[in-house]
Amino acid sequence: MRLERQLQEYIMRSFKEADILVYKFTSPGRVGVPDLVCIPKDQPAFFVEVKSPSGKGRLSQLQHAVIRKIEAQGCEVLVIGTKAEADEVIMGFKE
């Protein structure tokens, strides 16, 4: 869990530096929702589910179901498990 928290902090810091608003998302009474809500300037908002870079963190069936529901509403959900993946997302917004 510690590695996942460190990765989440890295993502939040890096996204903010790239001028992407990022908020830790909690939904009381609901499990399976993505960890972060990200709002880039002049582009659609998206969600991020952070998974441990150790590879131990896998999406649960419930998380898969929630992600499918969010995507069915027209929103993007990214699952990020490494700093390199986070950096790749940021590069996509700089192009």
Q: Sorting pLDDT into bands at 50, 70 and 90, what band is 1? A: low
- The mean pLDDT value for 11-39 works out to 93
pLDDT the model gives residue 93: 78
One-character DSSP codes across 41-85: TTS--EEEEE--TTS-----HHHHHHHHHHHHTT-EEEEE-SHHH
Residue in this structure with the two tokens 């441990």, named with its chain if needed: 52
pLDDT tens string 38-93: 999 999 999 999 998 776 678 999 999 999 999 999 999 999 999 999 999 999 87
pLDDT the model gives residue 95: 62
